């Protein structure tokens, strides 16, 4: 008869230990308790490769620092996994020949504005406020040789439109 209370206490202790173990595992999997940030979670630093000036009616509107994506790998990666860009900066995609270009925002956590630029350096079309993390296609309306991505709101802030021009150069 004295075994029943001891067995009951043992079951209670085992239940408490199991509850503590489950709680500890759940806490260990929370973002706050996951330890140091991994390399894939760290922001990818901006790399200044050149400068680009947007021109409207023959007048320089603004000059940006640009990171240049001119390889298949860098064009495919684009601004994925980057939560922000430095002020007055963007990414210029350079293609080997003019053609219709399409982009999507998968793995891109910030909203962007796009400039689709023809081989004559004239902006063919723009797309404003592309939603982050979207799989919808963002496309040029004609053949383009370059595409400039900048933080959302840039086009509205500077009053830029299709028909404006660009001038860019490498600085590296």
Determine the length of the chain. Answer: 172
- pLDDT of 43 reads 76
What are the structure tokens assigned to 14, written together?
A: 């085992």
User: How high is the pLDDT of residue 33?
Assistant: 35
Provide the Cα torsion 144, 150, 155, 160; round to 10°: -50
135 close to 106: Cβ distance less than 8 angstroms: yes
Q: What is the pLDDT along the chain (172 residues), one digit of tens a residue?
A: 444 444 455 454 444 444 333 333 333 333 333 333 344 456 789 999 999 999 999 999 999 999 999 999 999 999 999 999 999 999 999 999 999 999 999 999 999 999 999 999 999 999 999 999 999 999 999 999 999 999 999 999 999 999 999 999 999 7
Q: Could you tell me where the beta strands, DSSP code E, fall in 41-88?
A: 50-56, 59-69
The per-residue pLDDT for 32 is 35
pLDDT of residue 154: 98
pLDDT at 172: 75
Around 43, how many Cα atoms within 13 Å sit in the side-chain half-sphere?
10
């Amino acid at each position: 008869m004295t075994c029943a209370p001891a067995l009951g206490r043992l079951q209670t202790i085992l239940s408490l230990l199991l509850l503590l173990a489950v709680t500890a595992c759940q806490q260990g999997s929370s973002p706050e308790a996951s330890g140091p940030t991994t390399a894939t979670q760290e922001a990818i630093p901006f790399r200044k490769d050149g400068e680009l000036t947007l021109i409207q009616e023959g007048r320089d509107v603004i000059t940006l620092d640009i990171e240049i994506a001119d390889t298949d790998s860098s064009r495919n990666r684009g601004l994925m996994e980057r939560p922000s860009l430095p002020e007055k900066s963007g990414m210029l995609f350079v293609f080997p020949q003019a053609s219709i270009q399409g982009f999507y925002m998968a793995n891109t956590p910030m909203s962007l504005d796009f400039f689709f630029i023809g081989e004559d350096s004239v902006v063919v079309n723009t797309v404003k406020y592309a939603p982050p993390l979207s799989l919808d296609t963002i496309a040029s309306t004609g053949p383009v040789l370059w595409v400039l991505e900048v933080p959302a709101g840039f086009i509205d802030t500077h009053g830029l439109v299709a028909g404006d021009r660009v001038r860019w150069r490498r600085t590296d």
